[in-house]
Structure 1
Amino acid sequence: MVSPSLVMVDLAAGTFHPADVTEPQLRVDDLAPVRGDGIFEAVSVRGGVIHGFDDHMARLARSARTMDLPEPDAGLWRRAVEAAVEAHDACDEIVVRFIISRGVEATGALTAWALAGPAPEHAIAERETGVDVVLLERGYDSDAAQRAPWLLLGAKTLSYAVNMAATRYAKDHGADEVIFTSSDGAILEAPTSTVVAARGDTLLTPDPDFGILFGTTQIELFRRAPEVGLTVEYARLTEEDLLTADAVWVLSSVRLLVPVNSINGTPVKRDDDRGRTLLELLG
């Protein structure tokens, strides 16, 4: 069995040290477990290469600004992530989650750590098998992020209870995955993934202005898509757009690119040849 590795990070001192993942490291009154008050990222390490680190740091910095947390030190976090990878058992695919908590309220000191573990087997398998999806309304319209920044839409926070509840709902109703929609009918994102659809030679994804995360894997895919003759577009997508697309995928750092087989029980087209090409672009 592959064991995870842990690095605790002292943000104030700019240092880090390895820690025993089986021993207590976090105070029970830390605001991460008490309130979910913090931010995080998860990077994929494949073949010893950390993928998309700069994009993840850019998103972590956006989340920090949204949450009124200090600007993360990219150099410190790169070294901490590398140390977690080096301490990990040999593995084809590793996921490193690096986390910043607001810490213990009484002290004002942030808590931070990087935790490395093997990529889940089911996430790797889904790249071939695909997923069945249900659409669930998130309860906000597509302009909510602009009107109500305190909702933290578009920030990658530790508060994932709603996302996990939606995933459980999908599984209870015979599906594998959720794609959220806005109350005015716009396609948003999956609980832990970005939605991308193909229409001819164009890849489309929902506009981040709708209050969704900037997808780091989607950003890398869009950056490299012209290499294989594809154009890219940020757009307002609807359920009908997905049902009539030439292919639909959900993308994340851990899962990479996963084809969607059906939406609300209706089969959608798969383009496995193009999917393999896109996976190759992602490395």
Structure 2
Amino acid sequence: MSRSARLVELDLPAREALLELAHQALAEWPTDVEGALRLVCTRGSEDGGPVTAFATLAPIGAGQLRGRREGISVATASLGVAADARSAAPWLLAGAKTLSYAVNMASQRWAGGRGVDDMLWVSSDGYVLEAPTSTLVWLAGDTLWTVPAASTGILPGITARWLLDHATDLGYEAGERMIRPAELTAVDGAWLASSIRGLAEIRTLDGKPLDPAADTARMLGLLGF
């Protein structure tokens, strides 16, 4: 949140105030129900004034839980820009987590209309970038990889980052590199990761089955899911 606020030049409330807001939302939440907590900050009234902050808490959807257990089907679609285009255009707010989710939701509706669970955006020069609400992670040999956020302008996912930072707990190295869709069908495992989804194994990509990954259960356990 702090990184995104800097990108949009938004002054956040004090960290302690945001933590208290989160604690208030969690206080009455049933412990046997998995929920998704969101903290939202806006600029406040149109005439200026202090930042408005609020929290929402809702159960994790059945589709997200099913994706963890059974894996997901994914289609690729063009984002319409080169892989490095957004990193050179800060006004596009690349890598900022904002309320501007219309394109993200439209992308997921497009995927659902084609009978798949999610989509992966692909750059105009042919590289996989990210999913509308998730980060791509894949295993090749003894290394867990993800797409570099700094050069592509994708959102640097917290869950994927934590997983790669703890890859040695699973006996793997970690790294960042670019990958094309055709290469992704030949890796040793591919997942979409997010704080709500957890980790969902990609079982098919553009209709092509991917070989089952061996470590999905261990990764979910490491992440606390």
Find the aligned partners of 2:147 and 2:13 in 1 and give their Cα distance. 27
Selected match of 1:252 from 194, 212, 218: 194
Find the aligned partners of 1:64 and 1:164 in 2 and give their Cα distance. 22
Alignment of 1:116-195 (within 5 A): 116-195=57-136
Q: TM-score, normalised by structure 2?
A: 0.95
How much identity, in percent, do the aligned residues show?
Answer: 37
Report the counterpart of residue 25 of structure 2 in structure 1: 84
Find the aligned partners of 1:235 and 1:156 in 2 and give their Cα distance. 22
Selected match of 1:235 from 177, 180, 185: 177
Find the aligned partners of 1:72 and 1:185 in 2 and give their Cα distance. 40
Find the aligned partners of 1:160 and 1:236 in 2 and give their Cα distance. 25
Describe the SS at the equivalent of 1:133. strand
Find the aligned partners of 1:146 and 1:199 in 2 and give their Cα distance. 26
Q: Is the contact made by 1:98 and 1:113 (CA closer than 8 Å) also made in structure 2?
A: yes
Q: Give the alignment's Cα RMSD to 1 decimal.
A: 1.3
Report the counterpart of residue 69 of structure 1 in structure 2: 10
Highest Rg: 1 or 2?
1
Describe the SS at the equivalent of 2:215. helix
Q: Is the contact made by 1:65 and 1:71 (CA closer than 8 Å) also made in structure 2?
A: no
The CA deviation at 1:72 is 4.7
Report the counterpart of residue 274 of structure 1 in structure 2: 215
Describe the SS at the equivalent of 1:233. strand
Are positions 1:226 and 2:168 aligned together?
yes
Find the aligned partners of 2:40 and 2:119 in 1 and give their Cα distance. 25
Alignment of 1:88-99 (within 5 A): 88-99=29-40
Deviations 1:98-153 (A, max 9, x none): 00112221233321101112222221111111111110111121112232110111
Residue 218 of structure 1 aligns with an amino acid whose one-letter code is: A
The CA deviation at 1:200 is 1.3
- Count of residue pairs the alignment pairs up: 223
Alignment of 1:4-15 (within 5 A): none
Residue 69 of structure 1 aligns with an amino acid whose one-letter code is: L
Are positions 1:265 and 2:207 aligned together?
yes
The CA deviation at 1:75 is 2.2
Describe the SS at the equivalent of 2:115. coil
Residue 153 of structure 2 aligns with an amino acid whose one-letter code is: G
Deviations 1:226-271 (A, max 9, x none): 0121011110111122111111100011110101011111111221
Residue 145 of structure 1 aligns with an amino acid whose one-letter code is: R
The CA deviation at 1:71 is 4.2
Q: Is the contact made by 1:248 and 1:269 (CA closer than 8 Å) also made in structure 2?
A: no
Describe the SS at the equivalent of 1:164. helix
Find the aligned partners of 2:87 and 2:159 in 1 and give their Cα distance. 24
Report the counterpart of residue 144 of structure 2 in structure 1: 203
Moved more, 102-111 or 251-260: 102-111
Residue 92 of structure 1 aligns with an amino acid whose one-letter code is: V
Find the aligned partners of 1:216 and 1:114 in 2 and give their Cα distance. 19
Find the aligned partners of 2:112 and 2:62 in 1 and give their Cα distance. 18
The CA deviation at 1:166 is 0.7
Q: Is the contact made by 1:139 and 1:182 (CA closer than 8 Å) also made in structure 2?
A: yes
